[in-house]
Amino acid sequence: MAPPGISSSSEENPNFLQSKNIVVLDGGFATQLSCHVSQPIDGDVLWSARFLASDPEAVIDTHIDFLRAGADLIITNTYQASIGLFVKHLNLTEEEAYALIKKSVELAHTAVERYLQEFPDAKKPLIVGSVGPYGASLHDGSEYTGAYASSTPVETMKAWHVPRIDALIEGGVDLLAIETIPCRAEAEMLVNLLKDKYPQTKAWLAFSVAQDGKSTAFGEPFQETARACYDLNPDQLVAVGVNCTAPRLIESLVDGINVGRSTPIPIVVYPNSGESYNVEMGFTKTDCAPLSSYVAKWLDMGVKGIGGCCRTGAEDIKAIKREVEKWRIQNNVSEV
């Protein structure tokens, strides 16, 4: 087993999100998981992460759904996982909580093994460790406002992030998805943490954004923030982008981000279905066109990775994959 900080196989994929490569991500884990379990998921303080303990087979089946749909990678079910929440809500010791986060990677590996048994000629999918924001642990929708950024010291956020990242890397992820990050302070801390503590690990960084189509959720200018974060650590960041926002906002967020740059930032986007989440109201629809209808436009703009977030399932990933293939043929871009 490689020690923390030493990634097992990301070096095998040097072209990930680079040059002509286009990567299809998976979709909203909790959404697809709901096809395999009868208990409610939305509203649970642990969200889908509870099922790492209560129904690991359902977690594996959910990953396999996305792989069969054409995802090039799967993201571990750890967005809402943390040592503190597992200790509190699953009555685990800290060691058991750490082991359960590691187990999320094992379940993803099992899904990949089973998928490759079913499709022996398929390209080996990557396993990406989900690193959700500190705010997700507060269970008050703060990852969509970044409100905690002004009251929480970054050192507190760092101390909270480290054990989960340790567990994901020790479990053997290929790279990390630092995702739904609402504010620059937390993003910069994580990008610097990668450099200082996990120098061999690659990651992408995806922001949670405001409804104005130009700011992070906390209100900083998105493009300036994304560029600044990428430039802090271009060797380890395979992409920067946006997740869990309405598809209609992506164009104004991303368009022109690489103008005037000698090193373009590979862009990753994985919006939600266009329904926005509110703790009191739940999901409300704000976007009527399906996510897949935007894919060609985003690829024309140079986006390198596309997937789905909340309220998107395997069928959405299948539709995204179809659009990516169509675009490749139309633009004479072969698969890398």
Measured from the CB of residue 217, what is the shortest distance to Zn ion in angstroms?
12
Pick the piece of the chain touching Zn ion (CB under 5 A) from 16-24, 62-70, 161-169, 238-246: 238-246
Q: How many residues in the shown chain lie near Zn ion by CB under 5 A?
A: 3
The conformation of residue 266, written as its DSSP 8-state character, comes to P
229 is in an annotated binding site: no
**Least Cβ distance, residue 120 to Zn ion (angstroms):** 33
In the complex with Zn ion, the residue whose CB is nearer, 143 or 166, is 143
Closest contact distance (angstroms) between CB of 215 and Zn ion is 18
- Look at residues 264, 326, 266, 272 and name the one whose alpha carbon lies nearest to residue 295: 326
Long-range contacts made by residues 225-228, C-beta under 8 angstroms, separation at least 24?
Answer: 225/184, 225/187, 226/257, 226/265, 227/257, 227/261, 227/265, 228/184, 228/188
Task: Give yes or no for a contact between 14 and 266, defined as CB atoms under 8 angstroms apart.
Answer: no
Q: Which is nearer to Zn ion, 7 or 273 (CB)?
A: 273
Contact positions with Zn ion (CB under 5 A) in 299-318? 309-310
Q: Is 310 annotated as a binding residue?
A: yes
Structure tokens at 111: 């899904």
| DSSP H helix total and E strand total for the chain | 11, 10
Q: Nearest distance from residue 121's CB to Zn ion, in Å?
A: 32
How far CA 144 is from CA of 118, 135, 217, 327, in Å, comes to 39, 9, 6, 32
Residue 110 has which token pair? 């099992």
Beta carbons of 19 and 238 less than 8 angstroms apart: no
- Residues between 172 and 211 that touch Zn ion (CB under 5 A): none
Give the nearest distance from C-beta 145 to Zn ion in angstroms: 14
Site for Zn ion, residues 265 to 304, rule: CB under 5 A: none
- Is 277 or 327 the residue whose CB approaches Zn ion more closely? 277
Tokens of 308: 């789905």
**Stretch binding Zn ion (CB under 5 A), from 14-22, 152-160, 243-251, 323-331:** 243-251
State yes or no: 288 annotated in a binding site: no
Q: How far apart are CA 12 and CA 138, in angstroms?
A: 37
Candidate residues 131, 147, 244, 303; the one interacting with Zn ion per rule CB under 5 A? 244
Whether 252 and 214 have beta carbons less than 8 Å apart is answered as: yes
Residues lying near Zn ion in the complex (CB under 5 A) are found at 244, 309-310
Annotated binding site for Zn(2+): 244, 309-310
